[in-house]
Chain A
Amino acid sequence: MNFSLIGALQILFKILIFPGLLFVVVIGLFLAGIDRKLVARMQKRVGPPLRQPWFDFLKLLGKETIVPHAANKAVYLAAPVIGFTGLVVMALFIPVFGYSTFSGNGDLIVLLYLLTIPAVALIIGGSASGSPYAGIGISREMVTMMSYELPLIIILLSVARKVGGSALCFSLGQIVNWQASNGCLAFHPALIPAMLAMLLVIPAEVGTQPFDVAEAETEICEGPLIEYSGAPLAVFKLNTAMKMFIMTALFTNLFFGGVSTASLIGAGIPAIALDAVIMVLICIVVTFLSMSLIHAITARFKIEHLFKFYWTVVAGLAALSLVLVWFGL
């Protein structure tokens, strides 16, 4: 009886605080702040303070929530929550190196499915709002989804083949353990093209500057988000920030999974805390390379160019890795 109570509390702690809800929200908003600051510094501006995403989030909570006449109210208000829930569940599947809440044989495949939920939530919310601009945004969001999904699958396939051999390993936990004994995948030459492809998949998944065709505020007035205001908009903005952390954390686990400190100072709470810090540091670097840098130096893609870019250049990079790995490199 007592034992199961402690177990339940532990699970609750994992879901609500670490590595679930609270951790992802705090680090996500922190990364979003860093991204804005870095872009500003690269454009020789002072830039907003690091806490700016917090201010934006709190401010939106304090605004009036308007539901347009043409909207389907229940779906319109549920969509951001669906996306948010999907992201929290996703956070539970992503290990902090050795430490994870859920782990199993196919969690990478589960993640692949969960990754579509925030994008689908955006599509549902946009279509429920009944605005024509949202309609254009939705179709663009779908094309974006199709574009980055193919390279992402090829990347995961090459990682799985490298780690599991012909058995294909789709367990993130095992991938991390394999890297701890065989060195980070980032230093295996065969996987470097896949790593570059992953760096390009992250901004499309999160929807930052050159790949934000679905939410282009200057041409289609923020697309699916056009009618949202107040708290639902705040949740959507939070979703974007959380996606930033989840995608960079996934990258860290896939390619830099071997830098866990557990083997140096022994497993335990200090090791987990240290791992979390190292992971956030790597996430900051990945945010800089994949999002801020590209954001600061490029203008927005057209949707057909985006599709072509992902299915040729990015998918090509990923496929190169897959071929190399398949020949045992």
Chain B
Amino acid sequence: MLKNAIAKSMMRSPWIYHINTGSCNGCDIELVAVLTPRYDAERFGFKLAGTPRHADIVVISGPVTSQSKDRLIRTLAQVPEPKCVVTLGSCPQSGNVFKGSYSVEAPVENFVHVDVAIAGCTVKPEAVIAGLYKAAEILEKKREAMNK
């Protein structure tokens, strides 16, 4: 019973940790907009965490520059299981306008497992909420899989 309660609350209290890997700051602002009174993601229990150790969902924005690639992988390794990775905007998926640059490692899928990808340049706050909610549902499934 306790295990079920834990799996249920996984979905109700996902804490977000945000990594900027060289984004133009557009997507970052939209992520913050999601927490403002207008969209209020806290009603689903979303909260910005200050350290990767407290995180459940890791949000990656930006096209992953060569400098930030190792740091991204190292940060993700510090997040306790179960965790979810969400990419924000078109940059991490394809490189977007930065594609072809010598210092961009874009599609992030090449070296990190991605659970949810939110598209857009910039992303819409509504899309961010929908994507994060989907990630929260995946978190619950991952926890249930750990119970078995």
Seen from chain A, the residues whose Cβ lies within 8 Å of a Cβ on chain B are 36, 40, 43-49, 52, 54-59, 61-66, 217-218, 221-222, 225-230, 233
Min CB–CB distance B97 → chain A (angstroms):
30
**Residues on B with beta carbons closer than 8 Å to the beta carbon of A64:** 80-82
Q: Count chain A CB atoms within 10 A of each CB in B3, B9, B44, B78 and give the residue with the most.
A: B9
Q: A62-B3, A64-B82 are in contact. List 9 more A-B contacts (CB 8 A).
A: A52-B13, A56-B45, A59-B9, A62-B7, A63-B80, A66-B78, A66-B80, A225-B51, A233-B54
Q: Report 21 cross-chain contacts, Cβ distance below 8 Å, ordered by A residue.
A: A40-B43, A45-B43, A47-B40, A48-B42, A48-B43, A52-B12, A52-B13, A55-B12, A59-B56, A62-B7, A63-B56, A63-B81, A66-B53, A217-B49, A217-B51, A222-B50, A225-B51, A226-B53, A227-B51, A227-B53, A229-B80
Complex contact A229–B49 (CB within 8 A): no
Q: Contact check, B9 vs A54: say whether CB atoms are below 8 A apart.
A: yes
| Contact (Cβ within 8 A) A52 B80 | no
Q: A55-B13, A58-B6, A59-B10 are in contact. Are A230 and B42 (CB under 8 A)?
A: no
A230: chain B residues within 8 A (beta carbon): 80
A-B pairs, 8 with minimum CB distance: A217-B50, A62-B6, A64-B80, A58-B9, A55-B9, A55-B12, A55-B13, A229-B53
Known contacts: A45-B43, A47-B42, A48-B43. The answer to whether A61 contacts B54 by CB under 8 A is: no
Q: Contacts A63-B80, A228-B53; is A55 near B37 (CB within 8 Å)?
A: no
The answer to whether A52 touches B45 (Cβ under 8 A) is yes
In the complex, what residue of chain B is closest to A233 when comparing beta carbons? B54
In this complex, what residue of A is CB-closest to B139? Answer: A59
- Bound CA–CA A189/B147 (angstroms): 59
Contact across chains for A62 and B42 when beta carbons are under 8 A apart: no
Q: How far is the CA of A184 from the CA of B97 in the complex (A)?
A: 69
Nearest residue (CB) in A for B81 is A64
A223 (CB) vs chain B CBs: closest residue: B50
Q: Does B5 touch A at the CB level, under 8 Å? A: yes
**Is A59 a contact of B37 with CB atoms below 8 Å?**
no
Separation of A31 and B13 alpha carbons in the complex (Å): 18
**Which residues of B have CB within 8 Å of A218?**
50
Report whether A56 and B13 are in contact in the complex, using a CB–CB cutoff of 8 Å.
Answer: yes
Distance, CA A59 to CA B51, complexed state (A) = 17
B73, chain A: closest CB distance, angstroms: 16
Q: In the complex, what residue of chain A is closest to B78 when comparing beta carbons?
A: A66
Interface of B with A (CB < 8 Å)? 3, 5-10, 12-13, 37, 40, 42-45, 48-51, 53-54, 56, 78, 80-82, 143, 146
* Chain B nearest Cβ from A162, distance in angstroms: 43
Q: Are A43 and B37 in contact (CB under 8 A)?
A: yes
Hey, which chain B residues are within 8 Å of A36, CB to CB?
A: 42
In the bound complex, how far is the Cα of B75 from the Cα of A310, in angstroms? 38
Give the distance in Å from the alpha carbon of A98 to the alpha carbon of B4 in the complex: 40
Cross-chain contact A45 with B42 (CB below 8 angstroms) = yes
- Known contacts A43-B37, A55-B45: does B143 contact A62 (CB below 8 Å)? yes
Which chain A positions have C-beta within 8 A of B49? 217, 222
Check A58 against B5 for contact (C-beta < 8 Å): yes
Q: What distance in Å separates the Cβ of A316 from its nearest Cβ neighbour in chain B?
A: 34
Alpha-carbon distance between A232 and B126 when the two chains are bound, in angstroms: 34
Q: Which residue of B lies closest to A65 (CB)?
A: B80
Q: Which residues of A have CB within 8 Å of B43?
A: 40, 45-49
B137 to chain A, nearest CB (A): 14
- CB neighbours (8 Å) of A57 from chain B are 9
Please indicate the chain A residues that have their CB under 8 angstroms from the CB of B143 in the complex.
62
Whether A45 touches B40, Cβ cut-off 8 Å, given contacts A229-B80, A233-B54, is: yes
Distance between B58 CB and nearest chain A CB, rounded to angstroms: 13
Q: Which residues of A contact B54 (CB under 8 A)?
A: 222, 225, 228-229, 233
CA distance A168 to B44 in the complex (A): 51
| Residues of B contacting A43 in the complex (Cβ-Cβ under 8 angstroms) | 37
Q: How far is the CA of A43 from the CA of B39 in the complex (A)?
A: 12
Most buried by A among B37, B54, B78: B54
Name the CB-closest residue of A to B49. Answer: A217
A19 to chain B, nearest CB (A): 25
**Please, how many angstroms separate the alpha-carbon atoms of A64 and B10 in the complex?**
13
Looking across the interface, which residue of chain B has its beta carbon closest to that of A216? B50
Cα distance A55–B136 in the bound complex, in angstroms: 13
Tell me, rounded to whole Å, the shortest Cβ–Cβ distance linking A299 to chain B. 16
Inter-chain contacts of B6 with A (CB < 8 A): 58-59, 61-62
